[in-house]
Chains A and B, each alone.
Chain A
Amino acid sequence: MSHLAAGLRLTVLGAALAAALVSGCSLLVPPEKDPTNIKLAELDTRVTRVERVIDSDGLVNLLKQVEQLQADAKALREQIDQLQFRLDQTGAAQKQQYVDVDQRLQSLEKALGERTTASPDGRSVLDGGELPPGQLPVPRGTDRANYQAAFELLKQGRYKEASAALKQFMIAFPESSLLDNAQYWLAETHYVSQSYDKALPEFSVVVDKYPKSRKIPDALLKIGYCNYELKRFVASRKALQTVVANFPETTAARLAGQRLERMTAEGL
């Protein structure tokens, strides 16, 4: 911008120089008709115009606006960067959760599979893939077979159906020894869907209703995780610390310890 003004000024000066040389300081012509004077007056008008532009705060104000826009652009970039980062993190966490659930399901499935084949009425509703998608398994056969059927849905990632099937199972077999596990996996269907506010009370039921369940450490761990996601860090810490203190040497305790360390690192 200033280069422009400077350039213009140079041009003006050049013209004046030429004019001065041509006219050679002549005094033969009346001043108002002197081409030099006319030219100068004309130049004067133009220069005044340029000066007015420079003198007004217009250009400086524009510069400030540009600087402000640059600062704004940086602030926006910061927001985008942070969003991208959180997105990547969430994606990774989701994947980890999936792998975690998948592994647990596989091991359980294996254990159950062994037991189911040994039971007299070993037919599961899902045998032969006879269940059309979206339809709930019918409560027939043993509690174990039904439990496994519901489980199969969970394993397939059909969380809504799994949730309904587990609820159905708990109503149909109120005396089953698998109730605590069903309750746990019901909570887990919410957890893997990241509905932490729904998962939390369901995990709490495991702890409150089945105090002797083998699922207690896992449920407590997940209570800690849910509270973490819900940003209730005090409650999260409390649950995780309970796992570490009461169930040492378990995978749950190890995971709880890791999360506690992470929270400390995050200053929570």
Chain B
Amino acid sequence: MHKLVPVFAAVLILISSPGQAELQIQITEGVDKALPIAVVPFGWQGPGAAPPLDVAGVVAADLARSGRFAPLDRKDLLQRPTTGADVDFGDWRIQATDFLIIGRVVQSVPDQYEIQFQVFDVLRGEQLLSYRQPATAADFRRSCHRVADVIYEKLTGIRGVFSTRIAYVTVSRSQSQGQVNSTYRLVVADADGQNVRIMVESRQPIMSPAWSPDGRKVAYVSFEANRSEIYVQDLRSGSRKRVSARPGVNGAPAWSPDGQRLAVSLSRQDGNLDLYTLDLNTQVLTRLTSGSAIDTEPTWSLDGEQIYFTSDAAGGPQVYRVAAEGGSARRMTFEGSYNARPRMAPDGKQLAVVHNDRGNYRIALIDLARSSTQVLSDGRLDESPSFAPNGEMLIYATREGTRGVLATVSTNGRIRTRIPELDGDVREPAWSPFAED
């Protein structure tokens, strides 16, 4: 039971499914002053037909979604240069555009493209960047997001996250013969909600997706055996392993920074939820906490030395910290009656938690040095915060009516976007790390 067993059972594992309902992202609140930028439609140089994707459109949407930029409406573009020589800065200054992006897609051999682009500072009339991004037909959309990443980093000094992905769980319910049938899906999509791929589909609940640090695997909890079990699934091949199916609860997997261990919450025989680390290579289980309290929802410190987690040792759920080798736990949160499901910020200095804010469940940041609490979201039943890998934003689950939808908020609380899914109830978003490939 404790061995790694590849399972191909009652659950559909899907590698790719085009044509799925995609997410649309709406900006609900922006910064006071988003920078005006013009993204001119890219030119095309090649023997065949142009690739089906509008590079400038994807890039402009990415930049707009960050809340820091306000791309000019395409119909307002006075000129449409595709090479530096065609740029007339005077025209762009009239339109009060701070920055200008032009480019073209060049095809060398079939299926091989190069996205060439330039970034200009309109006011100074100078080129800031010239860049060539290789692409293939298969990963063309991803390459467009990389272009946006490069531009964003050049203009803000912060690494872009447009080419990262998000994992989340959807539930759709249907009624037949008076019975409600639920279908749970583990979904991976691009950070803009497009390019949806269903990884697992089951009639039983799926929970707690967690990205491996290399972004290649996702650990999650599945109830397909009518009880909780933890799986690790490879995203590229779709193959998966059951890593924990012990008696009682198997839950809340969290990868160690080196990707070698999972912190998990198990109830085993005694029925108490305690934290353990599970070495994925040796299957060795190390117990970190004990006692009658509910100990769950672990998250690792950046150095892998500490684990922050939820415990009800003092009645309501609060965040505690324990050494990754075990030992006595130290309480970290004191403000409010409910602080649960900590997630470590990429800078290692803050935790995002679910916080009870005057009866509302909201996403809050806990500053570890000052132990202060800052509420970021404004919903009634917000949950499952997950940091973007550059630490600029959090994605979380909120409600629209009875439906779960995803939303993002910048960590300074100023920029909010909402991501309504077309069908189903969406929950438990997890933002991927920066992609290596």
> Which A residues are within 8 Å of any B CB, using their own CB?
70-71, 74-75, 77-78, 81-82, 85, 262, 265
- Which B residues from 106 to 148 make CB contacts under 8 A with A? none
Pick the interface stretch among B18-26, B73-81, B158-166, B310-318. B310-318
Choose one: B312, B316, B331, B374; the contact of A265 (CB below 8 Å): B374
Check A77 against B314 for contact (C-beta < 8 Å).
yes
Q: List 12 A-B contacts (CB under 8 A).
A: A70-B292, A74-B293, A74-B313, A74-B315, A75-B314, A77-B313, A78-B314, A78-B315, A81-B314, A81-B331, A265-B372, A265-B373
Given contacts A74-B315, A81-B334, 9 further A-B contacts (CB under 8 A): A71-B315, A74-B293, A77-B313, A78-B315, A81-B314, A82-B334, A85-B334, A265-B372, A265-B374
Interface SS, B side: loop
- A75 partner residues in chain B, CB cutoff 8 A: 314-315
Check A74 against B373 for contact (C-beta < 8 Å).
no
- B331 partner residues in chain A, CB cutoff 8 A: 81, 85
Bitwise, B310-353 to A at CB < 8 A (1) or not (0) is 00111110000000000000010010000000000000000000
Distance, CA A74 to CA B331, complexed state (A): 13
Closest to A71 in B: B315
- A85 partner residues in chain B, CB cutoff 8 A: 331, 334
Closest to A72 in B: B315
Min distance, Cβ A134 to any Cβ of chain B, angstroms: 40
Distance, CA A85 to CA B334, complexed state (A): 8
Closest to A76 in B: B314
Min distance, Cβ B378 to any Cβ of chain A, angstroms: 15
- B374 partner residues in chain A, CB cutoff 8 A: 265
Distance, CA A82 to CA B374, complexed state (A): 19
Bitwise, B361-372 to A at CB < 8 A (1) or not (0) is 000000000001
Check B314 against A74 for contact (C-beta < 8 Å).
yes
- B313 partner residues in chain A, CB cutoff 8 A: 74, 77
Closest to B316 in A: A78
* Highest count of chain B CB atoms <10 Å: which of A71, A75, A85: A85
Instruction: Tell whether A77 pairs with B292 under 8 Å between CB atoms, given A82-B334, A265-B372.
Output: no
Check B315 against A77 for contact (C-beta < 8 Å).
yes
Distance, CA A246 to CA B334, complexed state (A): 36
* Highest count of chain B CB atoms <10 Å: which of A71, A262, A265: A265
Check A74 against B312 for contact (C-beta < 8 Å).
yes
Distance, CA A262 to CA B335, complexed state (A): 13
